[in-house]
Structure 1
Amino acid sequence: ILKWNIKVTTENNFPTAAGLASSASGYACFVYTLACLYGIEDQEISSIARQGSGSACRSLYSGFVQWRKGELPDGSDSIAVQLTPADFWPEMRIIVLVVNDMRKKTSSTGGMSTSVKTSKLLKHRAERCVPEHTARLVEALKGKDFETFGKITMQDSNQFHAVCLDTFPPCVYMNDISHAIVNLVHRFNDLKNDIRVAYTFDAGPNACLYLLEKDVPDVLATVNKVFPNDALGNPEYIKGIPVEVSQLPAADEQFCANGQNQLKYIINTRVGEGPKRLA
């Protein structure tokens, strides 16, 4: 079997190099497929996938997953572990607002390398802030405490991008539309007097919103009002879990349009099940 010649064809329906972790799904699928072929055990798969893309090691399990940094010099114990199965918090939803699906100017790998060399904030974040955020986030997750979960998620995202700006030269991943999404989320939560929706941005301008199922109609209605789009109503505009646009409530009158057609499309989804073998 080790002498076989293997031809691999991959296809991904997520934008590549746009800050939506396409490498996570791509490498996770690739490594999982090879593991099925060669009979490699689960823990080994995580370590192998990490070498292709760090985020890929997290995509090999269902539900909420933690990537542990490990302690060994060779990195062999830097693996992902499942915290909860996919059905642990069934009310949890994710809405992805795709601002730009084109390749970004600064790659995640290149930006990270520059940050390690030049950002003084990164050292403090890695040593002090991330361990604290992680512990509190895991506790909030296991207690299904959305308010704490949402607050830490947003704070950690903001701090990550602060490190990007502290990098020299700076890595600017968010744009004006990204910041408009941040403002929308905070205004929405202020009107509800509660944290109902939380944003997080990876190395790109696209937003991932966490929220509970009961708040999906209000949040989508608000997004559609602030970011009106000619494609609204087209099934290719809001992908994933079906949404009947005509049944959405009216957005609060305090929100006004930020600009026409500023979002490429929206993905309405939930926590996933991990890789599956189809054939």
Structure 2
Amino acid sequence: MPEERTEQPHIVTCTAPVNIAVIKYWGKRNEDLILPINSSLSVTLHQDQLKTTTTVATSRSFQEDRIWLNGKEEDITHPRLQSCLREIRRLARKRRNDGDSGVDSASLSHKVHICSVNNFPTAAGLASSAAGFACLVYTLARVFGVEGELSGIARQGSGSACRSMYGGFVQWIMGNKEDGKDSLAQQVEPETHWPELRILVLVASAERKPVGSTSGMQTSVKTSCLLKHRAESVVPGRMVEMTEAIRKKDFAAFAELTMKDSNQFHATCLDTYPPIFYLNHVSQQIISLVHRYNKHYGETRVAYTFDAGPNAVIFTLQQHVPEFVHVVQHFFPPETNGADFIKGLPVNCASLSEELKQGIGLEPMPKGINYIISTKVGPGPCVVEDPTQQLLSSDGFPKKMM
């Protein structure tokens, strides 16, 4: 008898970005479908500095679906993972039934192996689930030949993941339908729109892990009067103003809205009962530093925003990066030398005048910030063509990590 040929797995690798909300999402009206109580708007960060890479393989020889995250096998039965897998397979079957020749009907019954890694440390406290689920959905869609609108599927993995399906500036429209079919992400402007905009992620020393976002949101929805007011009366107007500020590249308007919305989000956390404290003393010092720096110059040169954690994300324009980074280094003297303190895009040297130091007038806080990630606005998910970048070997199992 002829020897049976072992079929090579079908393998696809993609990357997807992190996004940072400037108009925050906090609170769900439907926990299962992850439908928000308000719309939100975010900036996609560049994948050269912050990204998730995911490789998906399918083969008739695989016995079950399996997933490895950052080198460790995880439980594939997690409901949100299952939701994304189920939806992509459903859409692939639908396309096949509609007569689409681009869908390989045999592969629809095959199990998948998924391997995913982040190129940024989890200690950064950045929303890795947004990049992770966006990358998972984008890669699965390529494997199963699914095209079209995918942000609604990514949303079911992690709410903010829907915004990581696009580059540049992205809004997540809350929608009104109970089935969530109109709760989708849309690009407001591409990453090429505002090339001067820069982002600095200030990774603070977190003393302990704060309340998780999911449980925090649930408590806020139940107990915060301010959250209801924010969702109904504040955010709709801010979405319009923020979109206009981005389109006009009006940094002062963009910066003020970003800081006000961050402050109000954390005010709703304090208005939650019992209150939630995501900011620590380092975060408060950064807020004070930004306002004093802007006041010294009589104009808004930098802006902060904080998600559910103590780490600051700073927005500024390219020409102000060198000086502000050195302001941060002066007021938060690092343990490490300058080279290790600044990661990502290179930052030029700058000197600080005594007048500026005295104008800010804060006491330095040694070791308050571990390091800075310097980055810019970036593109959405993409396919990786280089086979050496695949996370799975030709047999469909994770490559041995060195």
TM-score, normalization by structure 2:
0.66
Q: Deviations over 1:98-130 (max 9, x none)?
A: 114687231111100110111111100000101
Number of residue pairs the alignment of both structures matches? 275
Residue correspondence of structure 1 range 45-194 to structure 2 within 5 A: 45-100=150-205, 104-194=209-299
Which residue identity lines up with residue 264 of structure 2 in the other structure? Answer: Q
Which residue identity lines up with residue 64 of structure 1 in the other structure? Answer: F
Task: Provide the rounded CA distance (Å) in 1 between the counterparts of 2:346 and 2:257.
Answer: 29
Query: Are 2:353 and 1:237 aligned?
Result: no
Contact 1:18 1:100 (C-alpha < 8 Å) held by counterparts: no
Match of 1:20 in 2: 126
Instruction: Indicate how the Cα distance of structure 1 residues 56 and 132 shifts in structure 2: closer, same or farther if over 3 A, else same.
Output: same
Contact 1:101 1:264 (C-alpha < 8 Å) held by counterparts: no
SS at match of 1:9: strand
Instruction: Indicate how the Cα distance of structure 1 residues 203 and 33 shifts in structure 2: closer, same or farther if over 3 A, else same.
Output: same
Q: Deviations over 1:15-34 (max 9, x none)?
A: 44864211111111111111
Which residue identity lines up with residue 85 of structure 1 in the other structure? Answer: P
Which residue identity lines up with residue 11 of structure 1 in the other structure? Answer: V
Contact 1:18 1:102 (C-alpha < 8 Å) held by counterparts: no
Contact 1:16 1:101 (C-alpha < 8 Å) held by counterparts: no
Q: Which runs of 5+ in 1 are unaligned?
A: none
Task: Provide the rounded CA distance (Å) in 2 between the counterparts of 1:258 and 1:151.
Answer: 25
Q: Which has the higher strand share?
A: 2
Instruction: Indicate how the Cα distance of structure 1 residues 101 and 271 shifts in structure 2: closer, same or farther if over 3 A, else same.
Output: farther
Contact 1:227 1:258 (C-alpha < 8 Å) held by counterparts: yes
Which residue identity lines up with residue 321 of structure 2 in the other structure? Answer: V
Task: Provide the rounded CA distance (Å) in 2 between the counterparts of 1:222 and 1:60.
Answer: 34
Q: Which runs of 5+ in 2 are unaligned?
A: 1-106, 386-402
TM-score, normalization by structure 1:
0.94
Match of 1:260 in 2: 366
Query: Are 2:351 and 1:249 aligned?
Result: yes
The alignment yields a C-alpha RMSD, in angstroms, of 1.6
Contact 2:174 2:182 (C-alpha < 8 Å) held by counterparts: yes
Identity, % of aligned pairs?
A: 52
Task: Provide the rounded CA distance (Å) in 2 between the counterparts of 1:2 and 1:190.
Answer: 60
Task: Provide the rounded CA distance (Å) in 1 between the counterparts of 2:262 and 2:337.
Answer: 28
SS at match of 2:188: strand
Q: CA deviation at 1:71?
A: 1.2
Contact 2:302 2:316 (C-alpha < 8 Å) held by counterparts: yes
Match of 2:3 in 1: none
Task: Provide the rounded CA distance (Å) in 1 between the counterparts of 2:379 and 2:207.
Answer: 27
Q: Which of 268, 271, 274 is equivalent to 2:377?
A: 271
Task: Provide the rounded CA distance (Å) in 1 between the counterparts of 2:366 and 2:148.
Answer: 46
Q: Which of 293, 310, 313 is equivalent to 1:208?
A: 313
